[in-house]
Amino acid sequence: MPVEWTGSGPELLVPLDRGRPLRVQLELALREGIRTGRLTAGEQLPSSRALARALGISRGLVTESYAQLQAEGYLVTRPGSGTRVAATGHASPTAPARPTEPPSIRINFRPGIPDLASFPRDQWSRALRRACQEASHKELGYPSPHGSPALREVLAAYLRRVRGAATDPAHTIISAGYAQGLQLVLRSLDDVRTVAFEDPGDPDHRAIAGMLGLKVVPVPVDEHGIDVGVLAATDARAVVLTPAHQSPTGVVLAPDRRQALITWAASRDATIIEDDYDAEFRYDREPVGALQGLAPDRVALLGSVSKSLSPALRLGWIIAPPRLSAAVAQNKRLADRGSPVLDQLALASLIQTGQYDRHLRQMRQRYAARRAALVGALARYAPGVELLGLAAGFHAVVPLPAGVDEQSVVDTALDRGVGLYGIGPYRVRGGRSQLVLGFGNVTPDAISEGVAAVADLIGG
């Protein structure tokens, strides 16, 4: 859709050679812009007065050029709408085509997506307005690579209170979400060449390590979490894991595995990178404290508001071991000069005033209701189907019947307008066919309708 401009319209780059006829050059530049797609159908051009002023030429010359191109069918002029590019066949056939739309998905069980409709717009907009009004002139300059001192103070206190983390604002770095946090920490491990990841685990996280030129080693996960014995047999000196709610299986790292992991890190002079995945959302189990609280000198704790508020905010944090915090902050400075300060101040306000806690309590109730809807729908339409990993978060793992092909189920469900997702992309090694069923951004009614539409596929 063309941009609607007010006033004199948009600016337009037209290079002119003063040694050649100016009107000829202007008309040629506009024709070529339209033919090549640089100027698209319906796009508004500057007013003749504005373009003449910008190019340092007479307004009459611009008016004559516009009139000539209108006569040729390149431009149209309507009262009150200015001069626009005509919707003609003049555009170059080599102009990029629009991407093909994917098949329509009516009900999408995509994992990892929170309830986007529940983003606290009013609270966030008030907090952002307050931050804009109250921020000092100094805070509007280039930020510290560590992040806003106000947010780091509030966040450190919050994580001590709700996650049992051993936090210090001096070693807290604000990142653009978890993915950037992982990159910053891995870049800071100068002497590490091999990084271990959970298998199954998030494929994007493995891809980040590979992008940085690191060797990736998969370590199996069982019902107690990552297998530390297998980890110890590798040459890895860093490991990335999700101990609070393993992604995607949902298991919690067992207490003896936690102690074994810390012992491994100390003996190997290694670093544990803890993704605090789904720690905010638990239902019928006791809260599990952060692993970082047991060994703050060995564990980098990473988190974000992507699940608790919205992925669009791109706000996360790193509680770095003291030996790494300076390097992580330097890598953040080189990456983007720091995360947006006003957003950081708004988040600090939400946490400090208790609105963040209140929002999380409301979301736990909402996700618990959707979890109950999923359990009920499966009991009704596909009895006997097993659900795993439901103690926290907003996705479940559904094992498929023996002999059922995972990808075939996904493809057939898509034909029915239902988005299902297999566990295959999470795995490095093979395993039983399973689905990772997200319910965070699906209403209870849609959950029931979606399960009914694919019950024959998942129930055997």
How is domain 1-100 classified at the CATH fold level? Answer: Arc Repressor Mutant, subunit A (1.10.10)
427-432 average pLDDT score: 90
pLDDT tops 90 at residue 5: no
Question: Residue 416 corresponds to which tokens in the numbers above?
Answer: 């029915």
Instruction: Say which CATH superfamily domain 107-115+362-458 falls into.
Output: Aspartate Aminotransferase, domain 1 (3.90.1150.10)
Any idea what DSSP says for residue 170?
G
- Which range has the worst mean pLDDT, 299-303, 382-386, 453-457? 382-386
pLDDT tops 50 at residue 220: yes
Q: Model confidence at 211, in pLDDT bands (50, 70, 90)? A: very high
Instruction: Give residue-wise pLDDT tens across range 47-65.
Output: 888 888 888 889 988 889 8
pLDDT tops 50 at residue 4: no
Instruction: Give residue-wise pLDDT tens across range 229-272.
Output: 999 999 999 999 999 999 999 999 999 999 999 999 999 999 99
Angle ∠(341,312,106) on CA atoms, nearest 5: 170
Q: What is the pLDDT of residue 146?
A: 97
Question: Residue 23 corresponds to which tokens in the numbers above?
Answer: 């009107």
Rg for the chain (alpha carbons), in Å? 28
Q: What is the pTM of this model?
A: 0.84
CATH architecture of the region 120-357: 3-Layer(aba) Sandwich (3.40)
> What percent of the chain is predicted at pLDDT more than 70?
93
The residue extents of the domains of the chain are 1-100, 107-115+362-458, 120-357
User: 82 or 185: which carries more pLDDT confidence?
Assistant: 185
352-365 average pLDDT score: 96
Question: Which H or E run includes 393?
Answer: none
Environment class of 404 (CB within 10 Å of its CB; exposed 0-12, middle 13-18, buried 19+): middle
Instruction: Give residue-wise pLDDT tens across range 88-124.
Output: 655 554 444 555 545 689 999 999 999 999 999 999 9
Asked if 396 contacts 386 with a C-beta cutoff of 8 angstroms, the reply is no
Torsion angle, alpha carbons of 8, 12, 18, 23, to 10: -70
Q: What is the pLDDT of residue 208?
A: 96
Q: 17: which residues sit within 8 A by CB, 6+ positions away?
A: 25
SS3 letters for 41-82?
CCCECCCHHHHHHHHCCCHHHHHHHHHHHHHCCCEEEECCCE
User: 89 or 129: which carries more pLDDT confidence?
Assistant: 129
Q: HSE-up of 137 (CA within 13 Å, CB side)? A: 0
